[in-house]
Amino acid sequence: MNYFFVFQNKSYDEEYRGGYLWAPQSGRGGKRVSHWEKMKSVKRGDIIIHSFQKKIMAVSIAQKDVYAANKPTELSEEWQHEGWRVDTQYIPFLEQIITSDIMDKLLELQPKTDAPFNRIGRGNTGYLFEANKEMYQYIIQQTALAQNNVLDKQRVIELLNFGENSKKTELEVEMDIEEIAAKQMSPEKLAKQVADSKPKGSQKTESVVYYRSPYIKEMVKQIADGKCQMCGEDAPFYEASNKPYLEEHHVKRLADGGKDAMDNVVAICPNCHRKIHVLNDEVDTIVLEGIAKQNEKQYERLLAYAKSL
């Protein structure tokens, strides 16, 4: 999954209403233009940050890979007709942050090449540029802070890991978007929506299976000794085998390159486990890293002892 940043100073309203990005395939005299050519690298599931007159208006997730399409009639600029189009699902913000207010951080986080802002913090002339996850997440956090109430802040914060799992099917992406929309609806609107919604069938997913060593899992649980390593409470119940029920959690996800190793695994209760995955809180991660380090130390002591026998 890739991240992009688009300057839509000439066309935000039209493109937002139509749910797309569009750029000509070439400029005057057939000249290729790099910030238009960039359109060719957008794929389904990619995340786009939308800016208009220095404001971050929305983020979106591409619904399909880019394709060749003529200039939509509602675009008035005198561009040539052959263009590239990306159909994308916009999620607009109620309150928008201004990029110049956070420019120092944006310059620090933006990619080294094809970045949206130049060294002195001005937007580069052009349409589509590269972004990255760090930049995206920072923008989401700042936008969340700018919202007027807790609920609106939460709605934005939920976009932090928007579109993760690049293997998501169109159906899954659709559900993600519907979920965000649903959370913003009044009970009345929601009731109508439920009445109107039709079943959408199913889609097969290709998912990657990571090996998780059952030995490491059991070792960590034995070290936890029946208590959640996060909240310290007793395991909520006993398994049929009479072992306290705890769940293993990888502090850095295997999908993100985390290792299946003692210093990356903790044993926690289902409540804490859910909480960690739902909130994805940085402070939790730091705490858990510390716990996993302790697990490793305890394991090493045990190993040394086992070898001495």
% helix, strand, coil for the chain, step of 5: 40, 20, 40
Q: Which is nearer to Zn ion, 192 or 212 (CB)?
A: 212
Question: Cα(first)–Cα(last) distance of the chain, in Å?
Answer: 50
- To Zn ion, the closest distance from the beta carbon of 35 in angstroms equals 40
At its nearest, how many Å lie between Zn ion and the CB of residue 150?
25
DSSP state letter for 137: H
Which residues sit at the interface with Zn ion, rule CB under 5 A? 228, 230-231, 249, 269, 272
- DSSP class of residue 238? B
Minimum CB distance to Zn ion, residue 275 (Å) = 8
Q: Are 58 and 16 in contact (CB under 8 A)?
A: yes
Q: Which residues of 171-197 are buried (b: 16+ CB within 10 A; e: fewer)?
A: eebbebbeebeeeeeeeeeeeeeeeee
- Closer to Zn ion by Cβ: residue 185 or 231: 231
Strands 3-7 and 47-52: parallel
Cβ closer to Zn ion: 109 or 269?
269
DSSP 262: G
CB of 141 to Zn ion, least distance (A): 22
Kindly state the smallest distance separating residue 171's Cβ from Zn ion, in Å: 24
The angle subtended at Cα 172 by Cα 18 and Cα 214, nearest 5°, is 155
- Pick between residue 6 and residue 230 the one whose CB is nearest to Zn ion: 230
Residue whose CB is less far from Zn ion, 176 or 248: 248
Pick the closer one to Zn ion by CB: 139 or 272. Answer: 272
CA gap 136, 58 in Å, rounded = 11
Could you tell me the smallest distance in angstroms from the CB atom of residue 179 to Zn ion?
A: 20
